[in-house]
Amino acid sequence: MDRRYAVILGNLGNTKDRFCGSYKESPATADMLQQAAHIPHVSGIELVGTWDISPANLMEMKLALADLNLTCVSVIPDLFGDSRYWKGAYTSTQPEVRRHAIDYTKQMCDIARELSCEIVNLWPGQDGYDYNLTADYAAQRDWMCEAVTELATTYPDLRFALEYKPKEPRTHSTLARMADSLLLAQETGCSNVGVCIDTGHAFVAGETVGESIVLARRAGNRLFHMHFNDNHGTWDDDMIVGTVHTVRYLEILYWLDRSGYSGWFSMDQYPYREDAAGAIGESILWLRRFDEILETHRDEIDVLVAADDAVRTSRFLREVLLR
């Protein structure tokens, strides 16, 4: 199949959590780009604003990507790691903070244009709440909608992918699931606002990703981007694809195809203790193996989905996965 694979550049860097400040040495950006370029099948890079890309290194990054024959798949504004957004970026109760977040995102949009990048991936990780009776949910929705609408109308040539996640770093995220993200996208009235499914986020949200893909399709073909990783269903563990949700991943690729998704397959992992390039490469190989199964057995899977017979489906999966 004609898939395009990418990786978020920072996945190849240092990893840390609230218990350990550094599990690895942090390579230079140039070294991480070299690593990414040597992962089999990778031809795209996602860059996190400020961390990887800024006006100061824009031209240097543009030349480096060209030299390595890598495409900038998306720019991800840092709306989660800047302490000024500690109580929200687009949904902060302070107007000056909301204005800063929008203006900063516009700066990232200008960078995306310069890099011929079509997608600005919005993960507003600090937008949400932690305690009951501390958040004006109606105002938060209004402010989020106003911010995204301003961005989408200012940059009609870019596509804005809303990446949802139920929790972390806040206990409750404003963009938590596919349904509320699609509602926001539709409320903007802008056809260039859609959704990024991070499979791990969707698992934590209790979603069946195949169904989420169909919802995005029915809402106006609003699935703009995909992030791939795996977890155990309770936290965003960012593990190697297919190592936990093996059967679900086969179904995810099936529904991506049925829904006509033609975007990038981007790896978004946090390999704390693993070799980063190796873990990312394994994820891609898992996805390619699932594609081999789909190519060989597509007609059979069509019949199984229509038949609604769990025993037949189980038999099929056992035979194709364990032979």
**What's the pLDDT score for residue 320?**
96
% pLDDT > 90, the chain:
97
pLDDT in tens, 221-240: 999 999 999 999 999 999 99
CATH of domain 5-322: 3.20.20.150
CB atoms within 10 A of CB 300: 13
**What's the pLDDT score for residue 313?**
98
**What's the pLDDT score for residue 280?**
98
**What's the pLDDT score for residue 2?**
86
Give the alpha-carbon dihedral of 168, 174, 178, 183, to 10 degrees: -170
Distance of CA 3 to the CA centre of its chain: 16
Cα 207 from Cα 190, distance rounded (Å): 25
**What's the pLDDT score for residue 26?**
84
CB atoms within 10 A of CB 227: 26
Averaged pLDDT for residues 182-198: 98
Tokens of 224: 């703009």
**What's the pLDDT score for residue 207?**
98
Residue-range domain boundaries for the chain: 5-322
Cα 229 from Cα 242, distance rounded (Å): 8
Tokens of 315: 């038999």
Question: 159 falls in which pLDDT band (50, 70, 90)?
Answer: very high
Name the residue among 137, 161, 141 with its Cα closest to residue 151. 161
Residue 318 confidence (pLDDT) above 80? yes
pTM above 0.95, yes or no: yes
Averaged pLDDT for residues 147-155: 99
**What's the pLDDT score for residue 131?**
98
Residue 124 buriedness (CB in 10 A; 0-12 / 13-18 / 19+): buried
Cα 269 from Cα 225, distance rounded (Å): 15
pLDDT in tens, 52-106: 999 999 999 999 999 999 999 999 999 999 999 999 999 999 999 999 999 999 9
**What's the pLDDT score for residue 223?**
98
18-27, 44-53, 313-322: least confident range: 18-27
Residue 1 confidence (pLDDT) above 80? no
Residue 286 confidence (pLDDT) above 90? yes
CA distances to 19, 82, 140 from 302, in Å: 47, 47, 42
Question: 25 falls in which pLDDT band (50, 70, 90)?
Answer: confident
**What's the pLDDT score for residue 323?**
77
Whether the CB-CB separation of 224 and 195 falls below 8 Å is answered with yes
The DSSP result for 133-200, as a single string, is: TS--HHHHHHHHHHHHHHHHHH-TTSEEEEE--SSSSSSEESS-SHHHHHHHHHHHT-TTEEEEEEHH
Cα 195 from Cα 91, distance rounded (Å): 19
**What's the pLDDT score for residue 191?**
98
- Beta-bridge mates of residue 228: 267
CB atoms within 10 A of CB 43: 18
